[in-house]
Structure 1
Amino acid sequence: MLAFGVLVLLLPVILLAIALGGAWMEGRRSPHSFGIGRVISNAFGAIGGAPLALLAASAVLNAPMQFLLPTMAQRMGDTAAIQGLAYSMAPLWLIWLFVYPFIKLFMMGIALDTLASRPIEFGAMLRMALRRTLPALALLILFGIALAVGFVLLVVPGIILGLTWFIVLPVMAGEGRGIFDCFGRSADLLRGMRWRLLLLILIAVVLWMMASGLTQGIALAAGGAQNLWLVAGVQAVFATLIGVLTTTGTAAVYHEVRTAKEGMGSHDLEAVFA
């Protein structure tokens, strides 16, 4: 039992070591660069194009969920109340299902334009996001099903699929391709880059865990143990920030691999946002 506990504690270190070794070997063999530091820098730099719009869009997607938790916690043990809440929220979940891809495409368009040093055209991006909401929804559903099946099959296939199709959404937002073309395009761009992408994701997960722990500590220190709504407010701010960074980070990965393999032209983006 002790040995198992030690193995669980060492597992993140082992994964990081494996990813580091794989990324190092891949970097030596690959003719294409993948600068992890550059991707992280671009993820933050992409926010600069329209920070208020990105934060507002992320808040719409991520903050409301945080304020549902105190309500559910207060009704814990009352099965009928929780079921009633779930039924009453069903129409909102259906609306959110369509709002999610729309807002993600809109945010991705802002990030891609900023990274390409293009002026932000909100009207064009809103039209693009609206036009591609249904294809993006189908794309995300297929992606989710594939990942679920892959993780059921001993986890590793799910990881491989996640790395292979990591940038399907920025491909759709930035190039206007069809659903299945997006999967193929993502696989082509990330070929020879996946070990370094895995290392980047693991670094991001570690940073997220540290930031999440710090955020919860601040909320509890401010009296959150007795005030669930305070905790929800702090977590809503944190979720909003993370929502922005995950979107700009994915866009930065797309920008990095496409620049490395093809250079970044703007003609296709102009066509998509027209």
Structure 2
Amino acid sequence: MLSKTFDLLTGHFGKFVLLTLVPMIPLLVLVLLALGRPPATAAFGVLGAITGLLTFFLSIVAQATTLYGAFQAMRRQPFTIGQSFQIGLGRAVPVFGVALLIGLAAGLASLLLLIPGLIVMCMYYVAIPVCVIERPGVMASASRSAALTKGYRWSIFGLLLLVWVIAAVVGIVLSRLGGGVVGALLHFAWQIVSTAFGAVLVAVVYHDLRVAKEGIDIESLANVFD
């Protein structure tokens, strides 16, 4: 799955980065605003909290807007930025509902222990592709994701752990290259690339789960876009 994701991302790198960049622009604005605030101030703390929430929700939007392109790339078919945004944002309301549900469920589970929170995230990992492609409601998207990931959650956990570790290591390296505006821009650029990778990865995982559990092929999956 990692190899397939890397091939898809590099094959359409500019388009996938742009599909991720546009939803994440508000995050860049907040990051730049935080640079002018001393770390010990209340304003810095508020901006940090808002940035964390936005990162979660905007990465979900990036998933939704990238799905069409990822499926077209898997079909070896062309796609445009406009088509991808139209399809992804056309499901914006239920996508935000699913994102809120996942965030609350993972947050509540994490209050107990870290492990339950991670389990919840693995259960609902493909809820956004389900929401956009199969078009059920919010709760049905979550239930469908839980059904698809059943039996594969350890594999998903290992996959995500590897991606998170690599992202963290690169982030640490970038933090040593410089601070200020340059450092912030480097971090943001890496965040865009890693978010684009993650958005394509979730499409690949969803596709592979449907193939493994239901024997459905990419053409049948992508018929919803035709």
TM-score (norm 1): 0.69
Could you say what secondary structure the match of 1:266 adopts?
helix
Deviation at 1:200, TM superposition (A): 1.2
Q: Return the match for 1:61 from 8, 19, 23.
A: 23
Equivalent residue number for residue 71 of structure 2: 112
Deviation at 1:96, TM superposition (A): 9.9
Deviation at 1:165, TM superposition (A): 0.9
- Counterpart CA distance in 2 for 1:255 and 1:138 is 22
The runs of 5 or more residues in structure 2 that have no matched partner are none
The runs of 5 or more residues in structure 1 that have no matched partner are 1-38
* More deviation, 127-136/102-111: 102-111
Equivalent residue number for residue 223 of structure 2: 270
Does the CA contact (< 8 Å) of 1:63 and 1:240 recur in 2?
A: no
Deviation at 1:79, TM superposition (A): 5.2
Q: Return the match for 1:157 from 116, 119, 129.
A: 116
- Counterpart CA distance in 1 for 2:56 and 2:135 is 21
- Counterpart CA distance in 1 for 2:171 and 2:56 is 26
Equivalent residue number for residue 93 of structure 2: 134
Structure 1 residue 255 corresponds to structure 2 residue 207:
yes
Structure 1 residue 245 corresponds to structure 2 residue 186:
no
Q: Return the match for 1:198 from 154, 157, 165.
A: 157
Alpha-carbon distance change, 71 to 102 in structure 1, aligned in 2, over 3 angstroms: closer
- Counterpart CA distance in 1 for 2:82 and 2:28 is 30
- Counterpart CA distance in 2 for 1:48 and 1:204 is 16
TM-score (norm 2): 0.82
Deviation at 1:71, TM superposition (A): 3.6
Alpha-carbon distance change, 78 to 258 in structure 1, aligned in 2, over 3 angstroms: closer
- Counterpart CA distance in 2 for 1:46 and 1:98 is 24
- Counterpart CA distance in 2 for 1:232 and 1:196 is 33
Does the CA contact (< 8 Å) of 2:67 and 2:84 recur in 1?
A: no
Deviation at 1:160, TM superposition (A): 1.6
Equivalent residue number for residue 182 of structure 2: 230
- Counterpart CA distance in 1 for 2:120 and 2:140 is 15
Deviation at 1:268, TM superposition (A): 4.5
Q: Return the match for 2:13 from 21, 29, 51.
A: 51
Identify the structure with bigger relative contact order (alpha carbons < 8 Å, sequence gap 6+). Answer: 1
Deviation at 1:121, TM superposition (A): 5.1
Identity in percent: 22
- Counterpart CA distance in 2 for 1:96 and 1:165 is 18
Equivalent residue number for residue 38 of structure 2: 76
Does the CA contact (< 8 Å) of 1:49 and 1:111 recur in 2?
A: no
- Counterpart CA distance in 1 for 2:187 and 2:208 is 31
Larger Rg belongs to:
1
Does the CA contact (< 8 Å) of 1:67 and 1:232 recur in 2?
A: no
Does the CA contact (< 8 Å) of 2:15 and 2:81 recur in 1?
A: no
Does the CA contact (< 8 Å) of 1:135 and 1:178 recur in 2?
A: yes
Deviation at 1:130, TM superposition (A): 3.0
- The structure 1 segments of at least 4 consecutive aligned residues displaced by more than 6 Å after TM superposition are 95-100
Equivalent residue number for residue 25 of structure 1: none
Deviation at 1:75, TM superposition (A): 2.6
- Counterpart CA distance in 2 for 1:202 and 1:101 is 18
- Aligned-residue CA RMSD (Å): 3.2
Does the CA contact (< 8 Å) of 2:19 and 2:81 recur in 1?
A: no
Does the CA contact (< 8 Å) of 1:168 and 1:186 recur in 2?
A: yes
Could you say what secondary structure the match of 1:136 adopts?
helix
Q: How many residues in Structure 1 have an aligned counterpart in Structure 2?
A: 222
Deviation at 1:110, TM superposition (A): 1.1
Equivalent residue number for residue 16 of structure 1: none
